[in-house]
Structure 1
Amino acid sequence: MLTIENLYKTYGDKILLNDISCMIKPNDRIGLIGVNGTGKSTFLKVIAGIDTAEKGTINHAKDYQIEYLAQEPELEPGLNVIEQIYYGEAAIMKVMREYEQVLLELQHHPENEKVQERLMEKQQQMDEHEAWEANTAAKTILTKLGITNFHKKVEELSGGQRKRIAIAKALIQPADLLILDEPTNHLDNETVDWLEKHLASYKGALMLVTHDRYFLNRVTNQIFELDKGNLYTYDGNYELFLEKKAEREALERSYEEKHRNTLRRELAWLKRGPKARGTKQKARVERVQEMRQQTFDTESRDVSFEAGSTRLGKKVIELEGIEKSYGSEQLIADFDFLVVPGDRLGIVGPNGSGKTTLLNIIVGRLAPDKGEIEIGQTVKIGYYTQGDEELDDDKRLIEYIREVAEVIHTKNGDVITAEQMLERFLFSRREQWNYIRKLSGGERRRLYLLKVLMSEPNVLLLDEPTNDLDTQTLGVLEEYLDQFPGVVITVSHDRYFLDRVVDHMLVFKENNPIEHFYGNYSEFLKWEKEAQKQYGPKPSKKSGQKPARKKKMSYNEKMEWETIEDDITELETMIENLQEQIAGAGSDTGKVQELYKEQQEIEEKLEAKMERWEELSLLAEELEIK
C-alpha cells in the first residue's frame, strides 16, 4: 500500500497540488484525469520519485517498487533492445540480461568452448531463478508490441518503436505500482487492444493518464480527478465517474446557493438591527465575516468554441491515380478518391502505412510520385498536425493567436476577440501574456488547436488530434465538429473519437490497397470480424500466395444484386410518401393509425433489404464484381 499525505506543489504562481492526500492499494486500477496544465504528469512524477513536492509525504514499504513510463520516454543510448528492457539490479533481470548477452556472443562464436561453458552456467542460473517463464513473457510482450529484432541498438529505431520498447520495459519490470503517462499515444488500434487485455491481468497496482476513453473505461476501477489543485476520488470506471462528478457538482452548487441565502438573511438581520445582547450580536457579526470569506469551487471551466466557417462550394477535393513511395516501399498505389461537401472521413491503419503522407499530399506539403489532386476554389483548409513545429516558444500566447485573427465571427453573427477565445480555452487574461515555452505539452496542443479552428476553415484535416489533449477538450472538439458545416478528415487511433466523429473510413493495410468503408470504427471492426468468419483473412497481394478458390455467385444472386439498390430506393420513397400523408391527415386518428401501420411494415421490409444488400455486397467484393 502507498499513502500520500498533504502534497503541496506549485509551478510559478500556479498551485498544482494543494495539500493532496490519497491512498493506492494493491490491484487498484486508477485513471488520473484533468484539464491539461493542471499537473497530472507532475503528480505522477512526484509519486515516482522523479520530482519532489514542496510539502507533504509519500509512505510505502522499503521494498515497494514503482515503475514509471513517461509521455516521452528516454532510452539509454548504446544499449540494444534486450539490454534496455532487462535493466536494473533485480536478480532476475540481471540473470536474464547476462544470459541474453552470452547467447548473442555464441551466435558470433559458435565454436568457442569458453562461451559454451558460460552459456551452460547462465542456463543453470536461469533455472535457479525460475527466469525462463519471465524471459518468454518478455519476448512475447516485445513481439506483441511489434519489436522482433531484440539485438538492435535503440538509436537505430524509429520514435514509435522506441515508445513501444519503453512500454515493454515498464511492463516487464517487477513492480508494486505501474505508472503510465499516455501509454496509448502513437500506438495503432490493434496494439492498444492488446495492451488493454494485458493490463487486465497485471499483478500490481496501476495508475495511468490517457485520452482514450474506451481504454480508460475498460481498464480502470477508480478515477482520480485533479482540478485546480484539488484531488477528487471516485470508485468505478470512467462512465461511473461522469455520473458521480455531475452529482458532486450539483451538490456543490446547492451548498453555494444555501450559503448565499443564509448570508443574505444574516446581513438583512444585522442591517435591521434588532435588539440583542452584545455578545450574541458580536458572534453574529463574526459569523457573517467568516461566511463572506468562504469560497466555492463551482465556477465552470468548460472549454467552448463557436465559430463559423467560410462558404464551401460543391467541388472539394478530388484525388486521381495517386502514388507515393519511399525507396522500395510503396505506401500509396493508384488511389482515387472524391471528397464531397459534408464528408466525415476517418483514416485508420498501422503506424508507417501512409496515413499522414496522404494528408500531406492533400495540403501540398508532399508531391505524389504520380497522379493528380484537384482542390475546389472555395476550399479553405485547416490542418492540425501531430508535431509542435508550428509553435514559436518565444511568442506570447496572445501574439500567437492574434497572428490568425484579432476577432472572429460566430455563425450567429457575434464578434469574439482573441482574448475572449483564449479565455474560452481556459487561458486567463494573465496567462495570455506568458510565453509559449512555459506551457505544458497538453496546453501547447490546446493552444495549437484553437489557432487552427480560429482560421475559420471549411475543410479540417486532423492528424492524431486526440494525442495529448485532455478528455474535456476532446469532448468540446467533438461537439464543435457536430455543428461544423464543412468537411472533416481525421487520422486517429482513438476508437471513441472515431465512433463519435466519422461516418465513413479509409483503411490502410500492409501490402493491400486502401479500402473504403461506410460506417464508424466500431462498425468497421464488427464487419471485419464477420467477414473473416465467413471468408477468412484476405491474402496479401504482395505475398505471392495463390488466392483461395472463389465461391461462385448464383444466377439468382446476380439478378438480385443488379436490382437490389433500386428496390431499396423505391422502399425509401414509399416511406417518404407515407410520412407526408401522415402529416396531412391532421386529426383523423383512424387514417393516421392506418398509414403508420403501413409505414412500419415497409420499414421492416427496408431493413431486411438492407441486410441482404450487405450480404451480397460482401460477396460481390470477394469476387471483385463491380
Structure 2
Amino acid sequence: MAFLLGCEKAAVEFPTKTVFSGISLGVDEGDRIGIVGRNGDGKSTLLRLLAGLVQPDEGRVLTTRGTRVGILGQADALDTAATVKQAILGDMPDYAWAKDNRIKGILAGLVADIPGDRLVGTLSGGQRRRVDLARLLVGEWDVLMLDEPTNHLDIRAITWLAGYLKTMWRKGQGSLLVVTHDRWFLDEVCLSMWEVHHGKVEPFEGGFSAYIMQRVERERLANLAEQKRQNQLRRELAWLSRGARARATKPKFHVAAAQALIADVPPLRDELALKRMAMARLGKDVVELKGVTEAFDGHKVLDDVSWIIGPGDRYGIVGGNGVGKTTLLRVIQGALAPTAGRVKIGKTVRFAVLSQHLDELTALGDDRVRQVISRYSRRTMLDGKEMTPAQVLEKLGFTKVDLNEPVCDLSGGQKRRLALMLILLDEPNVLILDEPGNDLDTDMLAAVEDVLDGWPGTLLLVTHDRYLMERVTDHQFAIVDGKVRHLPRGVEEYLELAAAREVAGAVPPGFTDAEERAAGAVADEAAALTATAGAVPAAPKLSGGEQRQLRKLMASNEKKADTLRGRIAAKQEEMAAADPSDYLALGKIQEEITQMEDQIEELELEWLEAAEKLGE
C-alpha cells in the first residue's frame, strides 16, 4: 500500500508540557484509524501535526506530493454572513452538483432539516457542526481527518455518517483518521487503532473491541501495577463479548478467547439485587404518566402519552433533535405541567438531574476540588458498598493532583464527573442524565459506566452515544410522533423506524430553485445510494459441496488456531521462567511466538473469507 503521510522522530512541546517525544508513524492508502486516549494527551494535536497545521519542535512531517488532506476540527471557521448553501458548496454552480448523487446524498444525510438560504450566523451549535461536516465531505480527499465528528449528531445521523465513510472510497483507497469517544462509531468504521498516551502513540490492530482485548491482554502479561485500570477494562470487555454485537459479528474463536479472558469477571449488574434496593428506597410507585399531552404553538410534542416508570428501571430515551426528549424529562420531574393528562410522582421520589451545561457547578467558582468534597460527610452506596466522597472521585478517575485543582480550571470531562459525584452524594433515587458522555474520553466513559452499574435506583438516560445507551440501560424507548414507543430490539429498531419514515436523498429547501429541482430530479437515485450505504452484498449461492468444504475449512482453522494459542501460552511460560539476562534465548522464544501469532492471523483471515462466502 502506498504511503500518504506520516512523521519521523517528531516532538511537540507546549510551554507547560511535552505532548509528543520522538514519535514515528505513517498513514498508508486504505488505512482506517481510530485515535483514542485520555483528554489532554494530544489526540487533536496529533491530527493537526499530521495535517501540517502544527510544526514539530524536532523531527519532521512527511507527505507524499499531491496528497489532498481534509480535516474537521472541533471548532469551525464558517463565515457567519454566508448562507448554508454557500458554506457547504462555495461557488460551485448548481449544474455542477445537481446531478451528483454523492453530494445530494450528503445534503440529505446531514442537513435535510436546514434550509440552504439560512444564514450560518443564525444556526445552533449542532446545526453549524453538521454544516461544517457536510462542507468537508463534499470535497474530494486522499486523507480525511475527523476530530469528534459525532458531536451534536443524533443517532440516525451518526449511523448515516458511519455508512458513508465505509463506502466513501473503494477498498484499499483513501485514508481515514478519526478522533472520537463514540465507541460504537470506532468499531463500525475503523480497522486499526492508535492509543495516545504519555507522549507516544501505540498502534493496535482491529477496531475498538479488538483494541480493548489486546490492551487487556498486554497489561495482564506485563503484570502492570495499574490493576484498577485493568479491572475496569476487563469489565468493559465483559460487556463487549456478552453483547449482541459481539455474538453477531465476531468469529467464534474470537468470542471463545474473550470468554476465557473474562471467565472470572462477574456480571456487570445484579439486576435483581439492584431492584430490591431500589424498592427499599422508592417503594412501589415512582412516576406514572396518564394521557399526557404537551403542545407548543399548536404543535403537539407529546401526544396522549401513558408510561409507567418503576423502581430500579433503567430506561434509555432516543429520538432526533427537537422531538421532545427534554420536554418529556421536564414533565416526568414535575417541572412542566402538561397541557392535558396528569403525572403521578411517588411520595418518596428524589430527582437528580445531570444537565448538558453543568450549571450546578457555576456556584463553586474557584473552590478547589478538595474543599468541595470536604463539605460532604455522608457516604453513598455503590455496588453494594459504602463509599466516601474521595473514594467515589477515585472511582471516577480523579488523582491526588486533581484534588488541588480549582473547579473553574477543570477540563470539561473532569467537571462532568465531579457533577455526577455531587449528585450521587445527595442520594437521589431517580437519576436523570442528559448527554453524560459529553467531554469524556473512552477510559473515563468506562469509569462512569462502572459507577452507574452499581447505582441502586431508577435511571433515565438521554444520549446520542449508542454504545453508552446500550451499555448502561436495560430497555430503550423512542419518541415517535409524540408517542413513547418501546424498542424491544434497542437502537437498531429505532434506526429502522426512522429510515422507514424518511424520504432519503431529498435536497433541503433553499439549495435549488423550483425549475432546477424539477430538471435535476435525481433524488431517487441519491435515496438508493443513501439506503444502500454500508450494505453488505448478498453472498453468491453455493452448492452443497462448496458449503461443506467451507465449513470444514472454518472448523479446521478454529482447531489449528486453538492449538497455536496453546503453544504460545507454553512459550510465554517458558519465557517467564527463563533467565532474564539471557537475551539470545528470550529473543528466540519471542521470535517463535511472533511466527505463531502470524499463523493465527492467516487462519483467521481464511476463516473470515469463508464466513463471508457462506453469508454468515
Q: Is 1:480 the equivalent of 2:451? A: yes
**Contact 1:322/1:333 (8 A) holds in 2:** yes
Residue pairs, 1:6-85, within 5 angstroms: 6-9=9-12, 13-51=16-54, 53-61=56-64, 63-85=66-88
Deviation of 1:318 (Å): 2.0
Deviation of 1:450 (Å): 3.1
Residue pairs, 1:458-469, within 5 angstroms: 458-469=429-440
Q: Which moved more, 1:226-235 or 1:436-445?
A: 436-445
What letter matches 1:69 in structure 2?
Answer: L
Q: Is 1:319 the equivalent of 2:285? A: no
Q: Which moved more, 1:44-53 or 1:143-152?
A: 44-53
The correspondence for 1:369, drawn from 339, 353, 356, is 339
Q: Which residue of 2 aligns with 1:191?
A: 157
The correspondence for 1:158, drawn from 117, 124, 129, is 124
Q: For residues 407 and 151 of structure 2, what CA distance do their matches in structure 1 show?
A: 22
Q: Which residue of 1 aligns with 2:583?
A: none
Q: Which moved more, 1:366-375 or 1:403-412?
A: 403-412
**Contact 2:396/2:451 (8 A) holds in 1:** no
Q: For residues 326 and 74 of structure 1, what CA distance do their matches in structure 2 show?
A: 34
Q: Which residue of 2 aligns with 1:493?
A: 464
What letter matches 1:466 in structure 2?
Answer: G
What letter matches 1:472 in structure 2?
Answer: D
TM-score, with normalisation over the residues of structure 1? 0.65
> SS state of the match for residue 437, structure 2?
coil
Q: Is 1:208 the equivalent of 2:189? A: no
Deviation of 1:171 (Å): 1.0
Deviation of 1:411 (Å): 5.0
Q: For residues 173 and 200 of structure 1, what CA distance do their matches in structure 2 show?
A: 16
Residue pairs, 1:508-587, within 5 angstroms: 508-509=479-480, 511-518=481-488, 520-522=490-492
Q: For residues 15 and 372 of structure 2, what CA distance do their matches in structure 1 show?
A: 23
Q: Which residue of 2 aligns with 1:178?
A: 144
What letter matches 1:351 in structure 2?
Answer: N
- In structure 2, relative to structure 1, the CA distance for the partners of 1:364 and 1:10 (3 Å cut) is farther
**Contact 2:315/2:461 (8 A) holds in 1:** yes
Q: Which residue of 2 aligns with 1:431?
A: 402
Q: For residues 52 and 395 of structure 1, what CA distance do their matches in structure 2 show?
A: 34
> SS state of the match for residue 359, structure 2?
coil
Q: Which moved more, 1:409-418 or 1:67-76?
A: 409-418
> SS state of the match for residue 368, structure 1?
coil
What letter matches 1:385 in structure 2?
Answer: S
Q: Is 1:381 the equivalent of 2:355? A: no
**Contact 2:316/2:477 (8 A) holds in 1:** yes
Q: For residues 36 and 363 of structure 1, what CA distance do their matches in structure 2 show?
A: 33
Residue pairs, 1:115-514, within 5 angstroms: 136-147=101-112, 149-203=115-169, 204-253=174-223, 300=229, 311-392=281-362, 394-398=365-369, 401-402=372-373, 405-411=376-382, 416-509=387-480, 511-514=481-484
**Contact 1:252/1:298 (8 A) holds in 2:** no
- In structure 2, relative to structure 1, the CA distance for the partners of 1:422 and 1:45 (3 Å cut) is farther
Deviation of 1:303 (Å): 6.7
**Contact 1:404/1:455 (8 A) holds in 2:** no
> SS state of the match for residue 390, structure 1?
helix
Q: For residues 140 and 518 of structure 1, what CA distance do their matches in structure 2 show?
A: 30
- In structure 2, relative to structure 1, the CA distance for the partners of 1:378 and 1:11 (3 Å cut) is farther
What letter matches 2:338 in structure 1?
Answer: P
- In structure 2, relative to structure 1, the CA distance for the partners of 1:302 and 1:35 (3 Å cut) is farther
Deviation of 1:81 (Å): 1.2
Q: Which residue of 2 aligns with 1:620?
A: none
> SS state of the match for residue 311, structure 1?
helix
Please list the CA deviations of residues 328-352 of structure 1 after superposition, one character each: whole Å capped at 9, or x if unmatched: 3321122222211121211111110
Identity percentage over the alignment?
A: 34
Q: Which residue of 1 aligns with 2:545?
A: none
Q: For residues 331 and 27 of structure 1, what CA distance do their matches in structure 2 show?
A: 45
Question: Which structure 1 segments of 5+ residues have no match?
Answer: 88-93, 101-122, 257-295, 540-626
- Tell me the C-alpha RMSD between the 2 structures: 3.5
Deviation of 1:13 (Å): 4.7
Q: For residues 440 and 50 of structure 1, what CA distance do their matches in structure 2 show?
A: 24
Compare CA radii of gyration and give the structure with the larger one: 1
**Contact 1:405/1:455 (8 A) holds in 2:** no
- In structure 2, relative to structure 1, the CA distance for the partners of 1:391 and 1:180 (3 Å cut) is farther
Q: For residues 502 and 150 of structure 2, what CA distance do their matches in structure 1 show?
A: 28
Deviation of 1:225 (Å): 0.7
TM-score, with normalisation over the residues of structure 2? 0.65
Q: For residues 47 and 350 of structure 2, what CA distance do their matches in structure 1 show?
A: 41
**Contact 1:37/1:443 (8 A) holds in 2:** no
**Contact 1:332/1:354 (8 A) holds in 2:** yes
> SS state of the match for residue 462, structure 1?
strand
Aligned residues: 453
Q: For residues 242 and 525 of structure 1, what CA distance do their matches in structure 2 show?
A: 27
